[in-house]
Structure 1
Amino acid sequence: MVTLAHGANHGLREEIKAYWSARAASFDSQPGHEIFSEEERAAWHRLLRRHLGEGEGRKALDLACGTAVVSHLLDDLGFQVTGLDWAEPMLELARSKARTRGRSIRFLMGDAENTMEPDASYDVITNRHLVWTLVDPLAAFRDWHRVLKPGGKLLIVDGDHVNPGLAARLIRRLSAFVARLSGDAAVQHGPAPGQMETHLSILSRVHFSQGARADEVVKLLRQAGFDTITVDTDMRAIHKAQRSNFSFLKGLERATQHRYAICASRS
């Protein structure tokens, strides 16, 4: 972990905000971000139900909601959803998507590490692919614990995007070799080539610069006051559904990565 002074933290957080603002335009075109099939949507619904149950009007806060993919999944299940993000271009797309689908989802601009939401105001908090970007995850987790009602649940969906296993590394090299051999450009699944340098610079300075392993996340959640923590690494149904939008090798690579859902409760 890189230790940063407060001023450096502020500068890094502004860089992160600008980076995700720049990613907004292409975000929904990339598999693994937007949902492209009803099979994948159903797999996400099953994951959310497994850990959070049906919404039944309970209040959910979707942190770093982006274009509101998870917000809409929660809305489908009957939660009363607030999506929070600090990138206005993301929120513009999120609001447009809600209008198109005729959904009543509340969107706020705000910082996922310091939500400024009232104490004990939500039954559920969710986030996807946020934790690896956190500058001060312990402070963020303490804030999320504060915002949850007693008995409320936090669901984190994330992974270690820094340390691919041996199988993933071999598949990645083979995929690059096949692309060179065929002369085909690789399908873009993450930052555009012009954004990769910024991505790597940010990654080198966040708390989980060495990879957001589930056990390290759980350790910090316990320090923040959460209990009854479960780690769910069974993402197979989601990965299987996503496979049709990836190349064969990319689909295999994703299936070998350390990805997980962590559910934690506030007593």
Structure 2
Amino acid sequence: MSQVANQHNYNLKDEIKAYWSARAETFDSQPGHEIFSEDERAAWHGLISRHLGAGDGRKALDLASGTGVVSHLLDDLGFNVTGMDWSEPMLARARAKARARGRTIRFLMGDAENTMELDGTYDVITNRHLVWTLVDPLCAFREWHRVLKPGGKVLIVDGDFVNPSPFAKLTGFLTKLASRLHIGKQPAHHGPSASLADTHKSILSRVYFSKGARADAVVDLLKQAGFSSITIDQDLRAINRAQRANFGFLKGLERATQHRYAICAVK
């Protein structure tokens, strides 16, 4: 009986948590996750500063912080950063990285859809590649609105990873072909195993944005959650250029043609 109950209680959110916990070991080896050059770091600093301004000690909540990549960028810019993730393996790596770099970033276990933080606590909220995984994004956005101070901002960096452009499909095909034929420089990083790739596909088919997290759909939900002064920024060229050296030419082109964006909204 208990085995049946446990199976019933293991829901989609548990699967997502387990998936990212399994990815923690190789997360920082992959371009697009960790930062591999000062040019890329500067490009991310530029994007964050463009929308959130200087840190000046303001309180920032970095949701789905993973190994702390964005949390460190915020810390670079002078924010007082709390990183929150619900994967303990990710948090362990984030804390170790902060200790190694002498950073005072606080990392907490928590759910982005139910942070358990007090009302009006933070000046800014950030997240990267979180929204597409949300089971209930409207609930999450209302939660983020609640924990922000009046005038506070949320900065979302995400994309539609379901509906590639025709050019992205072509470059994706050529990338896989070149890899199989061992043509050109192969990226020196470890991607997910075949079983984890299948798990990723299964999760993606069942989340709210299973048909693709388009920017306009995200904006509509942000408005419903009470946010205003919403801007969509699709100028991620500096980041794409910096990442291309580690992705390889074709993979870099594929990413550059995806529907990727930063959305900034105000409480």
- TM-score range normalised by the length of the shorter chain: over 0.9
Task: Please name the residue that 1:210 is paired with.
Answer: 211
Counterpart of 2:70 in structure 1 is 70
In the alignment, which residue of structure 2 is the partner of 1:230?
231
The separation in 2 between residues aligned to 1:236 and 1:190, in whole angstroms, is 24
1:57 aligns with 2:57: yes
Tell me if structure 2 keeps the 8 A contact 1:68–1:94.
yes
The question of whether the paired residues in 1 share the 8 Å contact of 2:137 and 2:221 is answered with yes
> Could you list the runs of 5+ residues in structure 2 that have no partner in the other structure?
1-6
| 2:90 counterpart letter in structure 1 | M
**In the aligned structure 2, how far is the partner of 1:183 from the partner of 1:243?**
17
Q: How far apart are residue 192 of structure 1 and its match?
A: 2.3
Asked if 1 retains the 8 angstrom alpha-carbon contact of 2:51 and 2:264, the reply is yes
* TM-score after normalising by structure 2: 0.94
8 Å contact 1:172–1:249 — kept in the other structure? yes
Structure 1 residue runs without a partner (length 5+): 1-6
Change (3 A) 1:236 1:111: same
Q: How does 1:1-267 map to 2 (within 5 A)?
A: 11-182=11-182, 187=187, 190-266=191-267
- Counterpart of 1:158, as a letter, is D
CA RMSD of aligned residues (A): 1.7
TM-aligned CA distance change 1:174 to 1:9, over 3 Å: farther
Q: Which moved more, 1:144-153 or 1:187-196?
A: 187-196
TM-score when scaled to structure 1?
0.94
Are the equivalent residues in 1 in contact too, given 2:67–2:93 (CA < 8 A)?
yes
8 Å Cα contact 1:231/1:263 also seen in 2: yes
SS in 1 for 2:11: helix
Q: CA deviation at 1:241?
A: 0.4
Q: CA deviation at 1:180?
A: 2.8
Paired amino acid for 1:248: F
- Following superposition, the deviation at residue 8 of structure 1 comes to 7.8
Identity %: 72
Q: Alignment length, in residue pairs?
A: 260
SS at 2:54 equivalent: coil
Mapped to 1, the partners of 2:9 and 2:145 lie a distance apart of 22
Listed one character per residue, the Cα deviations across residues 43-84 of structure 1 (whole Å, up to 9, x for unaligned) are 000000000000000000000000000000000000000000
Alpha-carbon distance in 2 for matches of 1:231, 1:203: 23
